[in-house]
């Protein structure tokens, strides 16, 4: 029996095959899950193209349009998923966005409107999605119930250039704990997967990303490969699976151990 047999999942955030969510979706399909993908706006055509590669591994169906900052699209996605799956056993939140002023300019340049945009897309969206999908997640038939996994970057420290996105991630970690408290009684768990730096489209838009790349492998006792997203795919499948059914409100660091070093 595979780890995610009979699991029905929504995986957001697949844009290209460098996306962290791509590695998660592929690994989940290999473990027997039925996977729905979502994307938004101009990213839709790119996601549809990338979905064809995933369709070689398993059935992914039509890409669902879901701009997480649009409440109507969030509600519509819940209706679509109810029709397609009837329930949800897992949700992967792999969404991050911040206007350029929020990254690489320090903390005094971005106006509040830009910070609000970053927090809306990168942090509040987790609450919006879990809230809208809660009835479907509560119907999970997976042993141990449903699992929500949100992609995170260590929010416990201030990193160079990451600026307001770092604040958004720290808030995401806190939000994960509050959501875990609220939806736990429905047998829904909520965990963060804090990954080290990986070369996705979002990462390349961070000014000075090479600074992370250059130092991470030296700091991580296990070493770190910025091109290997499979470590995230494997860890996410563990969190989505019944193996971690007693774990919620946690942050799983998948970063070669760098976050723990002085």
Ligand X SMILES: NC(=O)c1ccc[n+]([C@@H]2O[C@H](COP(=O)([O-])OP(=O)(O)OC[C@H]3O[C@@H](n4cnc5c(N)ncnc54)[C@H](O)[C@@H]3O)[C@@H](O)[C@H]2O)c1
Residue 126 vs 142, nearer CB to ligand X: 126
Regarding 173 and contact with ligand X (CB under 6 A), the answer is: no
- Using CB under 6 A, which of 80, 117, 191, 200 touches ligand X? 200
Regarding 39 and contact with ligand X (CB under 6 A), the answer is: yes
Site string for ligand X, 130-169 (x = CB under 6 A): ---------------------xxx----------------
With contacts defined by CB under 6 A, name the span among 16-24, 26-34, 111-119, 215-223 that binds ligand X: 16-24
Regarding 203 and contact with ligand X (CB under 6 A), the answer is: yes
Residue 85 vs 153, nearer CB to ligand X: 153
Regarding 197 and contact with ligand X (CB under 6 A), the answer is: yes
CA distance 4 to 88: 12
- Using CB under 6 A, which of 158, 201, 222, 243 touches ligand X? 201
Regarding 231 and contact with ligand X (CB under 6 A), the answer is: no
CB of 141 to ligand X, least distance (A): 27
The pair phi, psi for residue 192, each rounded to 5°, is -100, 140
CA distance 65 to 38: 6
Report how many residues bind ligand X under the rule CB under 6 A: 27
CA distance 228 to 241: 22
Q: How many alpha carbons fall within 13 Å on the CB side of residue 195? A: 27
DSSP of 90-148: EEEE------GGGSSS-SSSS-HHHHHHHHIIIIIHHHHHHHHHHHHHHT--STT-EEE
Regarding 95 and contact with ligand X (CB under 6 A), the answer is: yes
The pair phi, psi for residue 21, each rounded to 5°, is -65, -30
Residue 151 vs 180, nearer CB to ligand X: 151
Residues 48-87 that bind ligand X (CB under 6 A): 66-69
DSSP of 185-252: GGTEEEEEEEE-----HHHHTSTTHHHHHHHHHHH-TT---TT-THHHHHHHHHHHSGGGTT--S-EE
* Binding residues vs ligand X (CB under 6 A): 13, 15, 19-21, 39-40, 43, 66-69, 94-97, 121, 151-153, 195, 197-198, 200-203
């Amino acid at each position: 029996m595979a780890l995610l047999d009979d699991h029905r999942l929504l995986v957001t955030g697949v844009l290209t095959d460098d996306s962290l969510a791509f590695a998660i979706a592929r690994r989940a399909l290999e473990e027997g899950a039925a996977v729905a993908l979502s994307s938004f706006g101009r990213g839709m055509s790119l996601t549809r193209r990338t979905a064809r590669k995933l369709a070689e591994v398993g059935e992914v169906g039509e890409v669902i349009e879901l701009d997480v900052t649009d409440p109507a699209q969030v509600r519509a996605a819940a209706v679509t998923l109810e029709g397609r799956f009837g329930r949800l056993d897992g949700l992967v939140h792999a969404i991050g966005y911040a206007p350029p002023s929020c990254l690489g300019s320090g903390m005094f340049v971005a106006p509040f409107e830009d910070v609000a945009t970053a927090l809306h897309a990168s942090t509040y969206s987790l609450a919006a999605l879990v809230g809208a999908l809660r009835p479907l997640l509560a119907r999970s038939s997976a042993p141990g119930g449903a699992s929500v996994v949100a992609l995170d970057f260590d929010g416990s420290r201030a990193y160079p250039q990451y600026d307001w996105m770092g604040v958004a991630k720290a808030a995401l970690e806190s939000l994960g704990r509050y959501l875990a408290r609220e939806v736990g009684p429905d047998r829904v768990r909520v965990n963060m997967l804090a990954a080290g730096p990986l070369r996705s489209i979002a990462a390349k838009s961070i000014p000075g990303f090479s600074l992370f790349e250059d130092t991470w492998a030296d700091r991580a006792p296990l070493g770190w490969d910025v091109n290997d997203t499979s470590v995230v795919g494997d860890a996410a499948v563990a969190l989505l699976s019944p193996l971690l059914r007693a774990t919620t409100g946690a942050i799983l660091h998948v970063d070669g151990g760098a976050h723990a070093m002085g």
